[in-house]
Structure 1
Amino acid sequence: MDWSPDLRKLWKLPEDRLLVEQLRLLYGNVGVSVIPAILLALLLVYALQNDVNYRALMLWCPAVILSKLYAAFDARKRLAGVIAPAQARKLVVNLVVMHAVDGVAWGALAWVALGSTTTTGSIMVLAVLTGILGSSMSLLAPVLPAFFSFSLAVILLATSWLWLSGDSAYRALSLTGLLYAVSLVGQARNSNVAALAAIRLRFENLDLIRAAEDARRTAEYANLAKTKFLAAASHDLRQPIHAQGLFLDVLAHSGLSKHQSDVLNSAQSAWQASSDMLDALLDFSRIEAGVVQPCPLPFDLQGLLNKVENDLAPLADAKGLVYRSRETSVTVDSDASLVEMVLRNLVSNAIRYTAHGGVLVACRRRAQHVQVEVWDTGVGIAAADQQDIFREFHQLGNPERDRNKGLGLGLAIVQGLSTAMNLELSLSSRPGKGSVFRFVLPLTELASPLQAPGLLGTLPKDLRVLVIDDDEAVCSGMVRLLESWGCQCQAASSVKDAIAAARVCAPSIIISDYRLREQQTGAQVISALRAAAGMNLPALIITGDTAPERLREASASGDPLLHKPVKPEQLYQALMRLVV
């Protein structure tokens, strides 16, 4: 007969997973009570035995010891295995029966010893039974039915002997024992409620942890999917835009009419806008990939401010804004190119979100540091949004995703670069009043003025270039551009073709796309060509990949790395550095 459903209804047992934890708690308590109980039983036999009760005590003591040993054996077996929730209620029934037997064994002590021992012995028996009941409350309270069965057996046997003895004092003690049992039941219930609350809290915490872990995994998967999508989309977009830029530059150096030149300028402006957006994606991907390695050197801060103003002031003028940068004579120790990216993104952001007034770039000395500040009179940022604006692709006030407001990566790039350079970045803003972004740079006394980029001379006329790219349009555009610079060019789309071309005419320099067909990389092609030539040929890798792992792989090759779409002047300077 299965009594477990009735038992559950009678005792209002909790749900199975909570009941399992209650059982494990009780089983854990059993072990600590075995040795004290056995020693106590032996001590009682030693102290209470006489000619009258010797045989009864000799039967009682093994019964108590066997009961405790079986309880310990059962507890150890249950704890060593897995307690299934579906098994929990049956185990409660087992515990009720087992501890009822144990209670009968202890309660029988009253019938064995009280009528056949001294007054001192009787006091000892009553004290032991009282203590046994008290200790059982703390040991068995996690599963109330087990405690009730044990205490009921003990108290019924003990009080029945006291009442049936006919002695008024003993009868008073029996009533006192009943009152004591009632108080223990109340304490046991309170203890059970506290233990159950602790178990529930633990499960709630585990559920919260699991939910948080699931949310974290979901966010990581989403972020990974986003990164992979952006990398794939960026690579596929960079290929045609890169080829377009090469062809436009070739076209710019051919004889064009005034109308054709105007159309070409418009096409180049559209190409530049697309290139700038892809560059923002690339900058963000480089930060995510961890390949941004600051190279701090002393440089004149004013030169950098002038460069940014020359590039971005026309954007402010076009919107009718006043652009000002205060003069400074400080020299700072940092990575000039990365600081320029930070400042350029902050100023571009200020111009983009300012409709009236202006933008001010200022510097303030602070002991051994200088604080660079970018002020604007734009829309301002509410305090609740001041953390969110540094998230990638997050834009305020641009629900229609106007491309003139960028991709929402500028401030994410600023924060990423600030972290990479250990710059202290801060923001103060009031809605409708404007904003000020600040970052701090270390001062130094050694000057090394920042040089504006420019062409670094003239390429050798006999420069033989091997171009490796599996995209026909890109390869054709690269060859035509290089030939317009006076280079002798060969083209290949794989390792096999490249080695064959190199045997016909040994190249003096290699330009290779990073990701080729058949899972080959530009680094592998360059390595194979160097091995075939028996010399360390200078090489340049060009990639449209923005996946963090691809960026790390390409950077690890050790060869100079350019990112599509490559501006012709960037390519020219990279070639000059390789041949000088």
Structure 2
Amino acid sequence: MNRADRGMRGISPMQTRVDLQMLQDAWRTTPHTILGQALSLMALLWLIRGWPLPAWQWVLPTLGLLGVWGVVIAMTRHFRRFGIPASGYQRWRRSLLGWHLSQGTLWGLFAVALLGVADNDWQLALVAASLVYAYTVMLVSVHDWGVAVAGSTPLLTLAGVRLLVDGQPSSSFLALVMGVSMVTSLAVTRQISRRLREGTLLRNENADLVLQLREEVNNVTREKARAEIADRQKGEFFASASHDLRQPLHVLMLLSSALRPHVPAAEGHGLLDRMQTALGSLSTMFERMFDVARIDAQRIDYRAQACALSALWRRLDSEFAVVCAHQGLQWQLDPTEAWVQADPHVLERILRNLLNNAVRYTERGTVRLRARARGPWIVCQVWDTGTGIAREHRHRIFEDYFQAHNDGRRSSEGLGLGLAVVRRLSLLGPTPVSLRSRPGQGSCFSVRLPRLVPAAVPPQQAETRAARRPSTRAGKPAAPAASPLAPPGVILLIEDDPDVREGTAMLLHQHGWRTAAGSTPDGAIAALVALQAEGRMPEGSMPSAVVSDHRLGLSINGLQAIAQLRYEFGEALPAFLLTGEATPGLAGAARAAQVHLLHKPLQADRLLRLLAEATGAPERPDAA
């Protein structure tokens, strides 16, 4: 009732929406009761046709009810066409209250007229009918207590007063029953109406929360999609940038090595050494940065498989024996025949980064690599006798760009991404990395891997296992026993970048290799034919190896070019694939094709050493 007076002002938007919704529900459902009331009116007029009742006492209420129903039907048709706007809330609610108040009053006048001429039996029936009508109104409009009061109170009040006027005990008792029933039903209706309204408010609040949550989810989904697109674009940018930035750096490293024979030793070799050191540091920085970018862009897949550590140990031994000798460190490798469940490529990168880190921070002493069995695990350990790591730095040592011993940010010490790459790589699979260290005495990094037991040990391996002993090298590694090896031969070189092609050919020429270079496999074959025609290569002899770039700017890539050349010169032709990209799956494809995968920029001495190992040719440190 009060809500009708103040309209929709002074309440919250949620309450406004609920009140408007309840009003619309009332106009949608309550008019359906008119048909039942009309049938009841017809039955009542038929029953009282013989009663001694003045005509005006039933004609006026009947006409009043018909008039009210006509107005309500017209308003209901308007409501169904146009609905109820928020601005019309007050008018429509007052109309609803006026309809029920008028209807209840007219039925009350009917009851007063009939109770005045009815006997005791009919009075009891009329009281029961009045109560049924009042309860029906309350039930239909239970969601709106004001409508329930307006529809039921006039009828029960007028009928109760008429019974009290009679002065008879039975009439007074019926009046008392009607009064108590009215108060009780209105109180119950009040409680139900309040709870229904609270439930409606709660339901609408929940609906708003659901809509807000859905909007937030949609926003998060959109932002996630944008982030994924940006991440993919970042990955594509780094893939392109890695190739484009490695190319000139690769050329600089090749040309600096090729420049050495043309520079007087006294004046220029020291500068060349510094330049190559700077280029090596720059190469390491690029490699770490692109490793981080590839891992963060999820462009490295972890494919666990059974792998023998002995093969990995041989590769690391051949590389770090030379590195430690150059640094004046002792290199110690404990041979192992253990098998583990791991991604061999990821594991090799983890150990290589740990070994590089050990060499960098060890000024004198030993760098050691070993594997130890610990129950169902194999623990690969990298030991060093370097500076060690203070306790306060150990929890940060795997963070990006953190360097405990490089406060001055010297470029020769890198960017502090080596151990950050190790952390990211270890999270790709079940390869946790742990650290033990004593300042001033050294550190030990451990990588734990699931242990595998081979079904059988090959006979050759079983015979030679007992003869294996830890490999310890200090200073320059001992040279292999001399053997009557053939002199360097012809290298097939496939590179679409003219600068890289010319720089690589110049370097190989200075170290005794002849090159048949071209931007395509057909171009390399044509250059080989030209060498034979010039008499610089015996006719009918075969090339010693093929070195190819991966991205050739053609319809084929480097692996396909190598396959084409192997078709011409035999499947046993040693092959090296150079790449400056982070192509997913390339390492596995190269291993399957028995091709050595090398990443740009590449140290010239490493390329020469790998060529010598693959072809059996002697290394020539310098060419005059």
Shorter-chain TM-score bucket reads 0.5 to 0.7
1:331 Cα deviation after fit = 1.8
Which stretch of the first structure deviates more once superposed, 445-454 or 411-420? 445-454
Q: In structure 2, what is the equivalent of residue 276 of structure 1?
A: 284
User: 2:155 corresponds to which residue?
Assistant: 161
Map residues 78-477 of structure 1 onto 2, 5 A cutoff.
Answer: 91-93=85-87, 110=104, 115=111, 118-134=126-142, 136=143, 151-165=145-159, 166-167=161-162, 169=176, 170=178, 179=187, 183=191, 186-188=194-196, 190-202=198-210, 205-206=213-214, 208-209=216-217, 212-213=220-221, 216=224, 219-220=227-228, 223-224=231-232, 226-228=234-236, 230-252=238-260, 257=265, 260-284=268-292, 287=295, 288-290=298-300, 293=303, 296-300=306-310, 331-333=338-340, 334=342, 338-346=346-354, 365-372=373-380, 377-380=388-391, 401-425=409-433, 438-446=446-454, 463=490, 465-470=492-497, 472-477=498-503
Cα distance, 1:367 vs. partner? 1.9
Q: Which one is further off, 484-493 or 393-402?
A: 393-402
Q: 1:406: how far off? A: 2.9
Is residue 381–residue 431 contact of structure 1 (8 Å, CA) maintained in 2? no
SS for the counterpart of 1:51 is: helix
1:52 aligns with 2:36: no
Report the CA distance between 1:289 and its aligned residue: 1.7
Contact 1:364–1:370 (Cα < 8 Å) also in 2:
yes
TM-score for both structures, normalised by structure 2: 0.61
Q: Is the 8 A contact 1:369 1:441 kept in 2?
A: yes
RMSD: 6.1
Distance 1:488 1:324 in 2: 35
Distance between the aligned counterparts of 2:13 and 2:546, measured in 1? 78
In 1, the alpha carbon distance for the partners of 2:512 and 2:132 equals 113
In the other structure, the counterpart of 2:507 is 481
Query: Unaligned stretches of 5+ in structure 1?
Result: 1-5, 79-89, 137-146
Letter in 2 for 1:562: L
Task: Identify if the C-alpha distance between structure 1 residues 439 and 510 changes in structure 2 by more than 3 Å, giving closer, same or farther.
Answer: closer
- Residues in 1 aligned to 2:339 and 2:438: alpha-carbon distance in whole angstroms: 30
Q: What is the CA–CA distance in structure 2 between the aligned matches of 1:528 and 1:344, rounded to whole Å?
A: 27
Contact 2:370 2:382 in 1 (8 A): yes
Residue type of the alignment partner of 2:601? P
Name the aligned partner's letter for residue 331 of structure 1: A
Deviation of 1:327 (Å) = 6.5
* Conservation of the 8 A alpha-carbon contact between 2:494 and 2:520: no
Q: Return the offset for 1:463.
A: 2.9
> What letter is aligned with 1:415?
R
After alignment, is 416-425 or 348-357 more displaced? 348-357
CA contact (8 A) 2:281 2:412 kept: no
**Aligned partners of 2:428, 2:502: CA distance in 1, in Å?**
38
Q: Which residue of 2 aligns with 1:523?
A: 557
* Letter paired with 1:152: G
State the secondary structure of the residue aligned to 1:565. coil
Amino acid at match of 1:523: N
Tell me, yes or no, if the aligned pair for 2:550 and 2:559 is still in contact at 8 Å.
no
Aligned to 2:549: 513
With over 3 angstroms needed to count, the CA separation of the structure-2 counterparts of 1:475 and 1:259, relative to structure 1, is same
Q: Are residues 526 and 433 of structure 1, via their aligned partners in 2, closer, same or farther at CA, if it must alter by over 3 Å?
A: closer
Residues 201-225 of structure 1 deviation map (CA, whole Å, 9 limit, x = unaligned): 4455446545644664565466456
CA-to-aligned-CA distance 1:284-341 (integer Å, 9 cap, x gap): 45543225655532234987997898578789999xxxx9989686723245564343
The one-letter code matched in structure 2 to 1:463 is V
> For 2:201 and 2:380, how far apart are their aligned partners in 1?
61
Where 1:289 maps in the other structure, the secondary structure is coil
How far is the alpha carbon of 1:243 from its aligned partner? Answer: 1.4
Q: With the length of structure 1 as denominator, give the TM-score of the two structures.
A: 0.65
2-structure distance, mates of 1:69, 1:502: 96
Between structure 1 and structure 2, the one with the greater Rg is 2
Instruction: Tell me how far 1:112 sits from its aligned partner.
Output: 6.8
The alpha carbon displacement at 1:522 in A equals: 5.6
Cα deviations by residue, 1:98-121 (Å, 9 ceiling, x for unpaired): 677667666776457663763333
Q: Distance in 2 between matches of 1:427 and 1:93?
A: 73
Unaligned runs of 5+ in 2: 1-5, 48-61, 115-124, 163-174, 472-476, 533-541, 617-624
1:475 CA displacement: 1.7
Quote the offset at 1:154 in angstroms: 3.9
Q: Equivalent residue for 1:12?
A: 12
**Which deviates further from its counterpart, 94-103 or 417-426?**
94-103
Residue deviations 1:149-181 (CA, integer Å, cap 9, x gap): xx4344223223333442554556555566556
- Cα distance, 1:132 vs. partner? 2.2
CA apart distance, 1:374? 6.3
Structure 2: distance between partners of 1:432 and 1:94: 86
- More deviation, 521-530/407-416: 521-530
1:350: how far off? Answer: 6.9
Q: Indicate if the aligned counterparts of 1:423 and 1:440 stay in contact, CA closer than 8 A.
A: yes
* SS of aligned partner of 1:290: coil
